Chains A and B, each alone.
Chain A
Amino acid sequence: MMNFERFEQIVETYGCAPARWPEHERNKAEQLLTTSAEARSLLDEHRALESLLNDYQVPAMPQMERRILGTLREATRASLLDRILDWMLPRSGALISWAWRPALVATLPLVCGIYLANYYSFGIDGAQNSWQEELYLISMNDYAEISE
């Protein structure tokens, strides 16, 4: 047998519609409604509350929807670099984004420069090459003197 306390718990948890009440307790709850004025009064209070909640409707916001659609459309057309930056940077926290993005962009040429310098010698030979060339020139000089 269901008591009032359990009925109150069911209504507070699942709302007024018996269809949302737990199936195994639905019949007992509905039986209690036929015998208990207190249960009927409680249900009426919650129905009034749900009716009030139903009256609280959100207004149409067409301008906001248009703006969001426009912004998101642009976001999907962003360049590959922008997407990489968007991925790397946190979107929440405007201060972090504003400070971090220029800093990251500023370091990119430095990173590229280090990489390129490491990959190409740009005509600057290492010490080993210089010694090899010097030995080659000395041997050529010796050979020229012998030839004379």
Chain B
Amino acid sequence: MRQRPVVHSTLGTDSRDSTSTMTEDEALMLAIQSGDSRAYESAVRKHIKAISHYAFRMLGNSKDVEDITQETLLRLWTHADSWQPGKAGVSTWLHRIAHNLCIDYLRKDRSGITGELTEDIETDDDPSLAPGKEAELQSLQKALDALPERQRSALILSHYQGFSNKEIAQMMDISVDALESILARARRGLKARLIRNAPTESV
């Protein structure tokens, strides 16, 4: 077995790829590919927040967020060989998996991943409890949920996960031009829905 590279995991940080973390990610992936379970745990700890946040925003507060997150991170172990250095960052690769799982779930297999659709996951707090903004945030959540899946995913990956348009296009397997068209429709649609839902609000 290959000697495990010395890596310093950053527990709880969002797993956005950057120049400083690419080497660490690559070292972890090489170790995972050689069957190193410690490197795998480090990688899971590093990326779990970003993946679960993405799934939460795509699916809402349901048990399926846990299933999608778990399945995505399990594939980091079972499909590690399919990751190729230089082709895509680890975070980009994982978000691509999560994106495909979420789209599959939303389109055709709402009951296939788990039967516990109505069971909420336990959270420390509620995302809609920002003081004085409950109504606005509920409208936003509804407007996001009403967006077509690909538009929602593109907007989440761009705004919250911080990926570039090129990276998102790569994840969604479309051209950058097509992605930019999707993003423009998403922002336009979100704004229109918020104005329609709450005509007295500023947006």
A residues apposed to B, CB below 8 Å: 9, 11-15, 45-46, 48-50, 52-53, 55-65, 67-69, 71-73, 75-77, 86-87, 91-94
B37 contact set on A, CB distance < 8 A: 73, 76-77
A13-B180, A56-B127, A61-B121 are known; give 4 further A-B pairs, CB within 8 A: A13-B184, A14-B165, A59-B123, A93-B112
Q: How far is the CA of A1 from the CA of B52 in the complex (A)?
A: 44
CB–CB A50/B159 < 8 A: yes
Name the contact of B113 in the complex, choosing from A12, A49, A92 (C-beta under 8 A): A92
* Interface 1/0 per residue, B160-188 and A, CB below 8 Å: 10000100000000000000110111011
Question: Which 10 A-B pairs give the minimum distances between C-beta atoms?
Answer: A59-B123, A12-B184, A60-B124, A76-B37, A58-B53, A13-B184, A13-B180, A12-B187, A59-B125, A48-B203
Asked whether, in the complex, the Cβ of A56 is within 8 Å of the Cβ of B141, the reply is yes
Nearest A residue to B115, CB-CB: A94
Interface residues of B (CB under 8 A from A): 37, 40-41, 44-45, 48-49, 52-53, 56-57, 65-66, 69-71, 73-74, 77-78, 104, 109, 112-114, 121-128, 130, 133, 136-137, 140-141, 144, 158-160, 165, 180-181, 183-185, 187-188, 190-191, 194, 202-203
Instruction: Give, as a whole number of angstroms, the nearest-CB distance from A66 to chain B.
Output: 10
Q: Given A56-B137, A69-B44, A93-B112, decide whether A15 and B124 contact each other with a Cβ distance below 8 A.
A: no
CA distance A75 to B40 in the complex (A): 11
Nearest-CB distance from B45 to chain A (Å)? 7
Residues from chain A with Cβ under 8 Å of B114 in the complex: 94
For this complex, 21 residue pairs linking A to B, each with C-beta atoms less than 8 Å apart, are A11-B187, A12-B183, A49-B203, A55-B130, A55-B136, A56-B57, A56-B127, A56-B141, A57-B127, A57-B130, A59-B125, A60-B124, A61-B65, A64-B121, A69-B41, A72-B41, A76-B37, A76-B77, A91-B74, A92-B71, A94-B113
Listed residue (B125, B128, B133, B184) with the most chain A CB atoms within 10 angstroms of its CB: B184
Task: Check if A64 sits within 8 Å of B127, measured CB to CB.
Answer: no
> Considering the chains assembled together, what is the distance between the CA atoms of A11 and B158 in angstroms?
13
In the bound assembly, the distance between CA atoms of A12 and B158 in angstroms comes to 12
Most buried by B among A15, A49, A56, A86: A56
Q: How far is it, in angstroms, between the C-alpha of A61 and the C-alpha of B57 when the chains are bound?
A: 13
A99 and B82 alpha carbons, distance in the complex (Å): 28
B129 CB to closest chain A CB, in angstroms?
9
A72 touches B159 (CB 8 A): no
CB distance from A41 to the nearest CB of B (A): 11
CB distance B78 to A86 under 8 Å? yes
Asked whether, in the complex, the Cβ of A56 is within 8 Å of the Cβ of B104, the reply is no
Q: Which residues of B contact A60 (CB under 8 A)?
A: 123-125
Q: Report how far A77 CA is from B125 CA in the complex, Å.
A: 33
Do A63 and B187 touch across chains, with their CB atoms under 8 A apart?
no
Partner of B41 from the list A9, A73, A93 (CB cut-off 8 Å) is: A73
